[in-house]
Structure 1
Amino acid sequence: MRLTMYTDFSLRILLYLGAKAQSELSTIQEIAEAYHISKNHLMKVSHELGKAGYIETVRGRGGGIRLASAPEAINIGEVIRRMEDDFHLVECFNPAGNSCPIAPVCGLKGVLGRALQAYLQVLGEYTLQDLLANKHELQGLLQPGENLQPLI
């Protein structure tokens, strides 16, 4: 299973904000610099995180974003389910686009379905707080640098 870049960036934003003091505001620009990724990508992702209630946005001069709730209240499995478009591991998982002739009798769909459920179950056992056990090391690695070019 591979998560989309959108979900990856969602988790990165949450980790960045979780590594900061809960009340401290961060900007999309500083997050983009810290991860060396496109500000435009992060703007779209942060908008969706805000709509989902994971982050708060403070507008205006001196504004920015921060976590909307404590890290222990943010379930990683829920974030991934919310941010992913679909979990169609193979063609037959998508009834609208399935043209596989053996789909009605294939045993692979059941096996992959069980594997997907196990994957999501494990992710659901963790919160953002669990991923911040090394908060001080994260803070050190996420210091925005100078003259960094986005990788994407």
Structure 2
Amino acid sequence: MRLKKYTDYALRVLILTASKREGELATKKEISEVFHISENHLGKIIHELNKLGLIETIRGRSGGIRLAKNPEEINVGSVVRAMEDDFHLLECFDCATNYCVITPACKLKHALHEALRAFLNVLDGYTLKDLLANQEELRELMGLE
């Protein structure tokens, strides 16, 4: 299973934002510099995370972003599902574009569907708080010290 960079970056935004000290805001510029992601691309991700109610954006000169929920309330599996636009691992996962002649008898689709469910079930067992278990090390690596 491979996630899009969009999802990867969204998880990074959440990790960095959650790693800020109490009362500190993360900024798009800061996130861009830490992870070498264009600010334009980050803007789209931040907008989506805001729409999902995971972060709050504060406008103005001293604005930025902060978590809208506690880290233990942000489920990793839910974030991945929200950020990915499809989980079509193979052609046969999308009825509209499936032209494979063996689909009616193929067991591969079922095996991969089971694997995808297992993948998402594992992610459902983690929250953002779990990803911050080594928060001090993460803060150091992100230059937040």
Structure 1 pair 115–22 and aligned structure 2 pair: CA distance change class (3 A): farther
Higher relative contact order (CA 8 A, sep 6+): 1
Corresponding residue number in structure 2 for 1:149:
none
Alignment of 1:112-127 (within 5 A): 112-127=112-127
Once the two structures are superposed, residues 78-100 of structure 1 have per-residue CA deviations (whole angstroms, 9 ceiling, x without a partner) of: 00000001000100001111111
Decide whether the 8 Å contact of 1:57 with 1:65 is kept in 2: yes
Distance in 2, matches of 1:109 and 1:39, equals: 38
Query: Would you say 1:18 and 2:15 are equivalent positions?
Result: no
Specify the code of the residue in structure 1 equivalent to 2:77: G
Q: How does 1:59-70 map to 2 (within 5 A)?
A: 59-70=59-70
In structure 2, C-alpha distance between the alignment counterparts of 1:13 and 1:22, rounded to whole Å: 16
Aligned-residue identity in percent: 58
**TM-score after normalising by structure 1:** 0.92
State the alpha-carbon separation in 2 of the partners of residues 83 and 29 from structure 1.
21
Q: State whether residues 57 and 64 of structure 1, in contact with CA within 8 Å, keep that contact through their aligned partners in structure 2.
A: yes
How well do the aligned residues superpose, as a CA RMSD in angstroms? 1.0
Structure 1, unmatched stretches of 5+, are 145-152
Task: Determine if the alignment matches structure 1 residue 105 to structure 2 residue 105.
Answer: yes
Query: Which residue of structure 2 lines up, in the alignment, with residue 45 of structure 1?
Result: 45
Deviation at 1:38, TM superposition (A): 1.1
**What amino acid sits opposite 2:132 in the alignment?**
L
Distance 2:99 2:14 in 1: 38
Q: Which residue number corresponds to residue 82 of structure 1? A: 82
Q: How big is the shift at 1:22?
A: 4.7
Higher helix share: 2
What is the deviation of 1:60? 1.1
Partner of 1:27: 27
Within 5 Å, give how 1:87-98 maps onto structure 2.
Answer: 87-98=87-98
TM-score, normalised via structure 2 length: 0.96
SS at structure 1 position matched to 2:65: strand
Instruction: Say how many residue pairs are matched.
Output: 144
SS in 2 for 1:104: helix
Unaligned runs of 5+ in 2: none
Deviation at 1:128, TM superposition (A): 0.3
Q: Return the letter of the residue paired with 1:77.
A: G
Hey, what's the Cα distance between the residues in 1 that align with 2:23 and 2:115?
Answer: 39
Q: Are 1:29 and 1:39, in contact at CA under 8 Å, matched by a contact in 2?
A: yes
